[in-house]
Structure 1
């Protein structure tokens, strides 16, 4: 079956893209910015995206004096002759055409072997044909559901699954971005469910608003299941900061977490500087205290009277006013219900053991939903896990035994700009993970509505970006940091609907594409609980490959 023809190439340049004149009868209203299309060259197929639509006329008189509404026949005569439409097309990948007469083995090699899609190096000649992509074309580029590929949605105008390569997704840090109300949390749950179903990484999820483990109410009514309810307690464990949460019927937790003053380091104070309204001098004082008292620095500070503060400042050249201010502010931290004077890392190490065993951990914050709580606890726990992972990786390098290799771990955080702003990213554990920890098998999934607040160096390390609608100029610029063909991607972001439409780009997809995301419903729960395969789409690969690249 041949592809549906849309038009022919009439102009173009390698950097600017191709201009295609649409055939008569092909309406611009049937196309969308970001649509995946195929240009059939003489030697190559060009996997491309529509970047712009334009209406044109060959005679200026038609523009100056268009036919009236009741002149239907005249309008029909002019369409395709005196008036026509063009689309701008950007090729991203190319693949040598395979004759239908060649054996199936050759066609299959073209699909998955060295002759598969590669970055575009040239452009087709005039009059190359633009066609609508078929399901086989999507599979050739984005893959079909298997042990690594996961269907995240469909093109805006076709019911064909678009897959994300989750193995590539988890091996680098990635981001989910979008303005408020674009469904970032539901999208995160969808992706996390895919990763759990495929078994490609363990997940540590810092659940600030208690919406990942158990059911939450949808905006339009009804309830959406949490990850614990989909995969069960044997796969997903839930911990909480809130002891009350452990007593809620139907929302069991596997442990209540407590932190000790001895577990809080000066680095945590740097991260909390904005939340506690600390001056830079007060933040520097925390470092001096830690140098002097070690892990008991915070308890020592809280127990100091005026005389002890003066003695400490005389010994270290710290500023007495800054030290007193730091003491006042950190008393607020010490009063948090989950903080106790001394604590071991037993519970955190238990979480790490669970993660190493291939399971997944959700830490709920219960009533403690201030940013102060979220940032402090996430930083303390993640720092401990990062140090353990680094030690395990170094052990693996020594032994080179596969059983010593740490399991891939992805850590999910919300309000990422609070952890990864330019000041914090250079001094805290999350900035280190984003920049360096990929080599130790630890990555981040950051969720944020204000990517402009994230350090640009960190943004440049984000491998895959899943982005909903954005209209704020600074946030759009931030999301597109380090990305080519920005005008097209900018237009695609601005044209998205506020719900269930995202732009996929980066390491886990071969080329950018706009998709309508899958519904997070009973059909989805059943599909992922059964291993993540999309129901109702049996693939007859042998039958389709023979007709794929004619």
Structure 2
């Protein structure tokens, strides 16, 4: 193999290094020919040192002067000649850079690999805009590794047409998060990640679709419509609906499976996260455990079917406080009005939750639509019940796999997507919910979370520390910005980058699935994107024929 040659002089020189340290980053004096107004926080640049290329991010910009007298007596607006004379010498711009990775550039082939930054470039090292080759060298390319490991999520700021990819093998290994305030495109970012895992087969997905935005076509803010996952991957995605009639009216299509939830499928631990939402005190919530101890899986049936006049007798029988038991009954009885909720015993009835598990085992991703039941109480309860069941099934499948060591028994990697995640993962209850347990413990059972939320500051810090990869759109609240960066290196430098993001189609990506933090203009979810995905599903058949084939899988 030929030795690696020192790279030739690069185009697009921005300036030279003048100050810096390993801990605080380095400073660049901007070339006089460059406009400070075109130097943007979050831009990907390369410092060409004597022995290393340092791949870096612009974190701050400022203007300066060699002599304070210049600022006391600035040239007038009409004196353009003096302004030009002073520019670059008397007045200049300083740009703060944070080196993230480095690579040998001195011809030593065996050392020419990307590694963490352990030193700083020397004085007057030149700084250049990154090239397409730099981006590919660091972030990979969709054509690499057989075309099923890397997935394009956007392009670097100021570098249109150059793809930034995420490593999907590393993405699905851990729980991940999409953070951003309302209106920043969290749903579209989430769709991109889901499309990547489905296209490449890296994971199956269970998406709790609170607002019916992922399964079939959905309306954008500008009034246009975008395709859902069921339409993009008709042989790999199935739709389960809590409101099948609403799904049919909205999409003119029948969901793959109508969902019914039976009272005897609900356990007391499913009620705990609803304490705040239902305004239940701890005593009322704990009454559910007393009922379960007495009546087993029929505890909720017994509670709902007991007349108000007999609640005192029921409380005495189970050892609960009558007022607490009454409060629990009042808060849970509204579920009886919902058509999906059944109070008769589930014995002998079709188990829709088992159908869902069978879909996941068969490598089908599931979009679970709530339709008109997008009330937070319903969303939290149903998601709790299903996730608890999925968690138990995956623990069992993993135990079997470890016993047999047969690849045929290996559970498919599962990513569970939850919106309004802070409701399940807030301090005090995160340890008790299946979602909190998945975030902390379930990597070894082939399950991870995709957390979607606008309030990361409301999520338990231990859960945040377990997040592998973060895609962070614009956040305004300082507490949310700090929470979004919990446990990350260089959080101080990245705060300024986050503060400079546009409100649309920009995000900071950092963590396990990317070698270094980078700000991207996110990939557009449009016809070109659909065309890029089309080859990944069965070609040559229209959606309706594929849809009919999938229906036969359930009916």
Tell me if both proteins adopt one fold, taking TM over 0.5 as the criterion.
Answer: yes
Paired position in structure 1 for 2:550:
none
Shift of 1:305: 4.1
Paired position in structure 2 for 1:381:
386
| Secondary structure, aligned partner of 1:353 | helix
Show CA shifts across 1:46-78 (max 9, x none). 111111111111121211111111222211111
Query: How many residue pairs get matched?
Result: 520
Show CA shifts across 1:221-268 (max 9, x none). 321111111122x11111101131354363321110001000011011
Paired position in structure 1 for 2:133:
136
Paired position in structure 1 for 2:511:
506
Mapped contact 1:38–1:131 kept (Cα < 8 A): yes
Paired position in structure 2 for 1:162:
164
Report the Cα distance in structure 1 between the residues aligned to 2:254 and 2:302, rounded to whole angstroms: 37
Paired position in structure 2 for 1:47:
55
Mapped contact 2:50–2:106 kept (Cα < 8 A): no
Paired position in structure 1 for 2:236:
235
1:37 aligns with 2:39: no
| Secondary structure, aligned partner of 1:272 | helix
C-alpha change, 1:59 and 1:247, in structure 2 (3 Å) is: closer
Report the Cα distance in structure 1 between the residues aligned to 2:407 and 2:436, rounded to whole angstroms: 28
Shift of 1:480: 1.2
Show CA shifts across 1:498-545 (max 9, x none). 10000101111111111100111000011122249xxxxxxxxxxxxx
C-alpha change, 1:306 and 1:531, in structure 2 (3 Å) is: closer
Shift of 1:204: 0.7
Mapped contact 1:5–1:132 kept (Cα < 8 A): yes
| Secondary structure, aligned partner of 2:183 | coil
Segments of 5+ residues of structure 2 without an aligned counterpart are 1-7, 538-555
Report the Cα distance in structure 2 between the residues aligned to 1:65 and 1:523, rounded to whole angstroms: 54
Matched ranges for 1:436-451 at <5 A = 436-451=441-456
Matched ranges for 1:189-268 at <5 A = 189-232=191-234, 234-245=235-246, 247-248=248-249, 250-268=252-270
Report the Cα distance in structure 1 between the residues aligned to 2:308 and 2:153, rounded to whole angstroms: 60
C-alpha change, 1:183 and 1:81, in structure 2 (3 Å) is: same
Report the Cα distance in structure 2 between the residues aligned to 1:175 and 1:269, rounded to whole angstroms: 25
Mapped contact 2:61–2:94 kept (Cα < 8 A): yes
Shift of 1:351: 1.5
Report the Cα distance in structure 2 between the residues aligned to 1:95 and 1:122, rounded to whole angstroms: 11
Range that drifts further, 338-347 or 482-491: 338-347
TM-score by length of 1: 0.91
Of 184, 187, 191, the match for 1:185:
187
Matched ranges for 1:382-397 at <5 A = 382-397=387-402
1:408 aligns with 2:413: yes
Shift of 1:40: 1.1
Mapped contact 2:244–2:254 kept (Cα < 8 A): no
C-alpha change, 1:306 and 1:196, in structure 2 (3 Å) is: closer
Show CA shifts across 1:316-363 (max 9, x none). 432111112212222112332211122357221212121122221111
Paired position in structure 2 for 1:543:
none
Paired position in structure 2 for 1:333:
335
Of 410, 433, 442, the match for 2:438:
433
Report the Cα distance in structure 1 between the residues aligned to 2:350 and 2:474, rounded to whole angstroms: 41
Shift of 1:31: 1.5
Report the Cα distance in structure 2 between the residues aligned to 1:345 and 1:289, rounded to whole angstroms: 26
Paired position in structure 2 for 1:5:
13
What's the C-alpha RMSD, in Å, of the aligned pairs?
A: 1.7
TM-score by length of 2: 0.91
Show CA shifts across 1:241-298 (max 9, x none). 1131354363321110001000011011112112222111000111111122111111
Range that drifts further, 219-228 or 256-265: 219-228
